[in-house]
A and B are shown apart, each in its own frame.
Chain A
């Protein structure tokens, strides 16, 4: 009951002209970013960050969260209509969404996508509201060994769930963790890897790593491989035909399954919308009533990935708000926005009346954001699709500028531009040599927290490292982390054994 009352206050906060305007801008920007060639969800949220510097914390988080939610939906439009997935999240939509559109039912395919995003978004917003405060209460009782175990689990899952080779992902993670050690260490005040350079003494801000590797690195990669100049034809009649209640009723189990998958995958640090979308499609292929027909253009193949992708947003926000641990690129930027405004997300955020009010305003904005996203998606589809014609060379030039301003404005330091240019080149080399970027970025973000919890544990428990295994909670989480690391190896061995047996 108290949660509902708090949520009511949250709605009252969001329904002010400023917050509503910010929410609307976030929704439109999120959809544009998802549709625009050369931009991804994470890059979009990165580029919006400098605009939040002058805002209060509540509208700042509302803006970024709105972009995050809509970023999981906007790319579906181009995937279904033109077979142009905005980003990996939308790839599963190519298998059933695009065939359905080619079978003469593009409006129906778009209608199912819209409904799936709506259902997934609403379910995840509800879970977020109901689960966050109890989880925060549990987190308040955790000690440093448990915190370290949670971070270890997050880093392990980033490595095992990501794309590319696991060894390359581990190398990327190690480099990210190393970057976070540059500067003066928090426990002893010792200088590490600064080489007498004043800029390095202050440490390397993870924001610079993120903006450089994700933003500039992606621009370099696209510049190297060449921009796609074939503008998608937008001449076809565009519209959205929503499914009838009877049709929705027939797919209720798909909706439930995909929402649950989305929220759970979202909560796992390092997973996120892409994994949710693929896993949900896989679950449908394994357990769905019409699994044999998947891939031929049936609604189940659209509803499963889209519902899971959007519902993963609420899941990903839970560890961020309750423990201050971002599990994905987008939530890492939202964490950055919190910190820039002097708010440290974590279990104590619900104990502070002012901050708790802000969190409930963010919850309320999720509900309104999902609704607004669907309304804009329904009515403005023609305008959104026209954005595809925008030349990528112009978009990329502005992306670089926004990355530079975002990096510069955080500390008003021109030498930060050198740092993001360097990480941009590193990001390109990572793409070129197939090293995933996400572990590098998450390593640089979670590195200081991992080190401080590890060092505090060692000091408190007389250098006894077995404490991570012997305490019940940290033991279970550490074991889960080891399972996460071992899982890809087991999969690989099983696949090789199968190939050997077949040959």
Chain B
């Protein structure tokens, strides 16, 4: 079962590669027949990608996943870990929270929500909400501080990007647009 789990990402990638190869075969162009066309380069890359996936699938399913060939940095890092483990005190090891798919999912949802909301809500409102929410998802417990930092940070970004760097940030729609325009008028930005 573990073998299948390890081979699964490569199998998915192999299927994606096959589909893209078929798409590359339908690339239309006008050019001399004796020359290689615009499909050659992507097909060559996809061919290599397919071979690599096939190798990994075979490695995991047939041979039980023997150790991979590592890059030079990987080897150096492994030696580093061994060397530092010899001199470390267990008490010195950095402590972090346990990994959490729920926290990650909340973070991704907040980000996608921001991408969708920034156009109707405008930069200032959407950013303030996103910053405060993301800090909370990241485990920052003090709501008051998070909200103040989010509001001050969003305001500072509006000042920096619209008044200094001249980036045209989204203003929003309806009442949010009116709010953004009032904010910009206060800053002297037209």
Contacts and interface: CB of A to CB of B under 8 A. Distances in A.
Contacts of B35: 458-459, 463
A226 B103 contact: yes
Nearest to A164: B74
A35 B73 CA distance: 23
Given A398-B153, A491-B69, 4 more contacts: A51-B165, A163-B71, A164-B71, A228-B96
A168 B75 CA distance: 15
A88 B77 contact: yes
Contacts of A424: 111
Interface string B157-168: 100110011111
B73 A161 contact: yes
Interface stretch (A7-15, A91-99, A127-135, A199-207): A91-99
Interface string B28-39: 111100111111
A489 interface: yes
Nearest to B101: A224
B23 interface: yes
A230 B45 contact: no
A227 B92 CA distance: 17
A413 B31 CA distance: 34
Nearest to A187: B38
Query: SS class of chain B's interface: helix, strand, loop or mixed?
Result: helix
Contact of B134 (A92, A190, A282, A400): A400
25 contacts: A53-B165, A83-B92, A160-B72, A168-B68, A171-B13, A178-B46, A190-B27, A191-B28, A193-B42, A216-B111, A223-B103, A229-B95, A275-B73, A279-B76, A394-B149, A398-B153, A405-B169, A409-B161, A414-B119, A421-B115, A428-B104, A459-B35, A463-B35, A463-B36, A492-B67
A162 interface: yes
Contacts of A95: 80, 83-84, 87
Contacts of B49: 171, 174-175, 178
A169 B71 contact: yes
A193 B95 contact: no
A331 interface: no
Interface core residue of B23, B73, B138, B169 (most chain A CB under 10 Å): B73
A435 B132 CA distance: 32
A300 B185 CA distance: 59
Given A174-B52, A295-B87, A226 B139 contact: yes
Interface residues of A, number: 89
A392 B138 contact: yes
Contacts of A278: 73, 76-77, 80
A489 B69 contact: yes
B73 A274 contact: yes
A367 interface: no
B83 A295 contact: yes
B73 A421 contact: no
B131 A401 contact: yes
A455 B165 contact: no
Given A191-B28, A397-B131, A417 B118 contact: yes
A177 interface: yes
A181 B9 CA distance: 23
Contact of B24 (A174, A192, A223, A397): A192
A286 interface: no
A393 B45 contact: no
A54 interface: yes
A376 B138 CA distance: 32
Contacts of A392: 138
Interface in B11-57: 13, 20, 23-24, 27-31, 34-39, 41-42, 45-46, 48-49, 52-53, 55-56
B70 A165 contact: yes
B183 interface: no
B72 A171 contact: no
A181 B41 contact: yes
A54 B164 contact: yes
Contacts of A161: 71-73
Contacts of A295: 83, 87
B94 A451 contact: no
A397 B149 CA distance: 11
A171 B94 contact: no
A162 B73 CA distance: 5
A408 B166 CA distance: 13
Contacts of A401: 127, 130-131, 153, 157
A228 B95 CA distance: 6
